Chain A
């Protein structure tokens, strides 16, 4: 089956610093990647959708200058949380889908803690 990896799995950073999270599709070409955020005991909230080679589409309320998304190739998307604050602490999950496929494959998630 399709595999999506994320790196790092856990990261702790200080307030004011930036953190980059990578999402890779290992055995398929991901034309579309999604970034989600999940707070404890809550469901997934879509942050943005990115198509390879074009700018990401952000959901309402998500600051595009704070959450920088780059989808430079068909197998890699990155999410950079800039000037992180404690309220950005969350579980960040990416998913990827190929072409017109209906299914999206989730990465294992990255737990970000901002101190």
Chain B
């Protein structure tokens, strides 16, 4: 079993749609959690950190459930520019980041 598992998608949604990505992790000692965005042929870039209390940044909402070892990302009112691969990232020990395989989102006009 992978340490971090994501629904690979792809997700193909129309503009304006709401889409949710899920991620589970296996190491209960994991310390910190993030969502990254990776555009084609580019490096990953931090989208947002994920906290137990949940956090929101504009159209993006992230949730963490430590008991279920589950992380989610909700994107509302999807834009064409949201098309990318979204990576769930979990920091385990020694500050190392473990990446999920990514979920590909395509937003269509």
A, B: real partners: no
Residues of A whose CB lies within 8 Å of any CB of B are none
Residues of B whose CB lies within 8 Å of any CB of A are none
